[in-house]
């Protein structure tokens, strides 16, 4: 299944993306793709509805309606730094022995085609294409890595936009550079695990103004999605509907020689195998 959301900001509704690429409205059956939906067996109920032929009875969403983030605003947006061996190399850093964890404000979440705002005073707004993992049910102190399988609702494209001056030069932890408004477009859809044959063999790419900046593959991840869910659960309850951004491959602006950063008017396009395409125009806040 491919879960989508649509509608103007503050009025989003849940839906699905069909094989013929039409969007269909599920708001007559479900309130939203939110914590309550995932935690109370919503995915199973949605699958039964579709398998019973209910898909054809769902209203079609007009093609001009805005694509919203593929899940409702989560309680937590969790990030992983330096999780690709080739990205750690371009950053001049050692491969971490344990995952490097950080948090983004949930207010960063926005639609896959919405404008992204360059913060006031920013000189180093950077791009990062990432595989997002959405949590299906609460996970706390998982006993083993394989237990995480039952806690994963699916995968999506996550754009972990970062402001490097705020992140690295303004003291403290990374939150300031990761949590600016609109800094986490999600979608265009959430693909359930059965839609992704091998999550550890997905090509990721990112272009800025039609020029390739990032190209990588999840096969070079240091810590895979199941391990990350297990690992996070040792420190906090990872709740249904939460999103984990699993790190970025090489090619970020900070790593270029000389570094290159985003300016107003730049257009960024992101792709991950099986998870569609995002596209954002960057504007000054």
Consecutive 10-residue averages of pLDDT for the chain (285 residues): 97 97 98 97 97 92 98 97 82 84 97 98 97 98 98 98 94 90 98 98 98 97 97 98 97 94 98 98 98
> What's the pLDDT tens digit per position in 87-121?
777 777 778 899 999 999 999 999 999 999 999 99
**CATH number for the segment(s) 77-284:** 3.90.850.10
- Which pair of tokens denotes residue 244? 């984990």
Strand partners, 205: 215, 271
Tell me what pLDDT residue 4 has.
Answer: 98
Tell me what pLDDT residue 26 has.
Answer: 98
> What's the pLDDT tens digit per position in 32-58?
999 999 999 999 999 999 999 888 899
Tell me what pLDDT residue 186 has.
Answer: 98
Q: Domain residues of the chain, as ranges?
A: 2-57, 77-284
């Amino acid at each position: 299944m491919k879960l989508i959301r649509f509608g103007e900001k503050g009025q989003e509704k849940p839906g699905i993306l069909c094989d013929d690429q039409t969007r269909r409205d599920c708001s007559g059956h479900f309130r939203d793709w939110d914590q309550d939906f995932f935690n109370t067996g919503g995915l199973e109920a949605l699958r039964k509805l579709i398998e019973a032929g209910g898909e054809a009875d769902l209203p079609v969403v007009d093609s001009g309606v805005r694509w919203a983030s593929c899940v409702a605003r989560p309680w937590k947006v969790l990030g992983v730094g330096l999780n690709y061996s080739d990205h750690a190399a371009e950053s001049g850093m050692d491969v971490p022995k344990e995952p490097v964890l950080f948090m983004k404000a949930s207010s960063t979440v926005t639609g896959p085609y919405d404008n992204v705002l360059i913060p006031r005073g920013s000189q180093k707004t950077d791009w990062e294409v990432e595989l997002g993992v959405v949590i299906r049910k609460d996970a706390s102190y998982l006993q083993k890595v394989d237990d995480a399988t039952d806690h994963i609702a699916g995968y999506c494209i996550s754009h972990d936009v970062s402001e490097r001056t705020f992140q690295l030069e303004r003291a403290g932890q990374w939150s300031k550079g990761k949590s600016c408004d609109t800094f986490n477009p999600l979608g265009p859809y959430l693909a359930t695990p059965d839609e992704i044959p091998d999550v550890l063999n997905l090509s990721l790419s990112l272009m800025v103004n039609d020029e390739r900046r990032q190209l990588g593959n999840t096969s070079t991840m240091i810590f895979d999605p199941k391990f990350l869910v297990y690992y996070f659960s040792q420190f906090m309850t990872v709740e249904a509907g939460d999103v984990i951004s699993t790190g970025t491959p090489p090619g970020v602006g900070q790593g270029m020689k000389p570094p290159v950063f985003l300016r107003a008017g730049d257009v960024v396009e992101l792709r991950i195998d099986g998870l569609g395409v995002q596209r954002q125009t960057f504007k000054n806040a």
